Amino acid sequence: MRPLEDVRIIAIEQYGAGPFGSVHLADLGAEVIKIEDPSTGGDIGRYVVPEQHGEDSLFFETFNRNKRSLSLDISTPEGRAVFEDLVKVSDVVHSNLRGDVPAKLGIRYDDLKHLNPAIVCSSLSGFGMTGPRSAEPGYDYVLQGMAGWMDLTGEPGGPPTKSGLSLVDYSGGLVAAASILAALHAARRDGVGADCDVSLFDTAISMLTYPAAWQLNGDFEPRRTHHSAHPSLVPFQAFPTGDGWLVVACPKEKFFRRLAGALGHPEWPDDPRYRDFAARRENAEALLAELEAVFATGTSEHWLGLLRSAGVPCGPVNTVAQALRDPHTVARGMVVETEHPYFGTVRQVASPLRVGAEQRAHARAPRRDEDAGYVLGEVLGYDAERIERLRAADRRD
């Protein structure tokens, strides 16, 4: 059995953050049943362009492989009855809705514990279920600004800049997945479930980590750095070469000694200006000017070969296409394939979560309501007449 094969998750999720958290659990074997509201056409991720066709898109495929879909409006009496029956035979209810919506929909632990005392109720929202902003929608871009990330990103003197990826969404999804697993462990041990009140805001604030500690406990003011340099370690940043860019990292003294030797300057570690972390930080302008002059004389491939041979942490600044073709990407099996009736063979990035040695095949994301027969018939044991009544109501919606 795969690690989570005995776990059933009801997912009232949409778009990116919530589905990103549950797709990793699905990859590990959990049965994730997406509840998709027929009145809205289901998960809005189905309609994200480009590469979108009908009720499917490559965006949706990315976040929903290995899942099932049930079209259900839980705000109606009929839909609520089906939902409550599912709660009785499931382990987790996972949602990513506005922070005040779980209470309105009645999907918190206190709302459902009478049906299943061990149910875990995960809410991933923009601002959480408490606090002055709990009723506000929250999105990655907004949170990157609010949490100080954009103030730290980009070149000094330039405009505030977001990350090229939706890192608050994705990090929030992983935090929700970790919270679910912790609550599920406790529920199976104690027989009592819980709420997991996870927010993108909390996630983004928590990821300020040591710059936050420096600011909270001293006079350090986090700020943008030239060429994405580390705020305190020198050298630890991007450098232009004769034909591109590379990143060099020296978080240990031995790495600086190796770097100096590889670049033909074994005298640098003995220079009082560069002898240790503190000295290099104080004299960063001089050292970085010397390094930039050296790197400008050769290609990225030349310098990366030299530095890797010397044991210096380094890497190229790849395009997305180059990163996906990197031999290590291929060797680690980080691109997987599924088959889709419209898109054909869909290649996408794999989950980084690994448990054991088994390499499993992946199933495409479900068509909307594709698994109604399985969920209503096999999981819940409804007879054909009741299933047809529910399907008829769905079609009217």
What integer pLDDT is reported at residue 389 of this predicted model? 87
Tell me if 17 sits within 8 A of 96, measured CB to CB: yes
Gyration radius from the chain CA atoms: 25
- For 367, which DSSP code? P
The domain 226-317: what is its CATH number?
3.30.1540.10
According to DSSP, the residues that pair with 70 across neighbouring strands are: 35
CB environment 86-111: b (16+ within 10 A), e (fewer)? bbeebbbbbbbbbbebbeebebbbeb
Give the strand pairing for 8-12 and 31-36. Answer: parallel
What integer pLDDT is reported at residue 361 of this predicted model? 83
In this prediction the pTM is: 0.93
- For 117, which DSSP code? T
**Cβ atoms within 10 A of the Cβ of 289, count?**
9
What integer pLDDT is reported at residue 204 of this predicted model? 98
What integer pLDDT is reported at residue 46 of this predicted model? 97
Listed as ranges, residues in the chain with pLDDT below 70 are 395-397
What is the C-alpha separation between 58 and 52, in angstroms, rounded?
7
Tell me if 66 sits within 8 A of 23, measured CB to CB: yes
What is the C-alpha separation between 247 and 295, in angstroms, rounded?
11
What integer pLDDT is reported at residue 396 of this predicted model? 63
The domain 8-206+335-396: what is its CATH number?
3.40.50.10540
Point out the residues that are catalytic: 230
pLDDT in tens, 244-277: 999 999 999 999 999 999 999 999 999 999 999 9
Examine domains 8-206+335-396 and 226-317 and report if their fold is the same. Answer: no
Q: What are the boundaries of each domain within the chain?
A: 8-206+335-396, 226-317
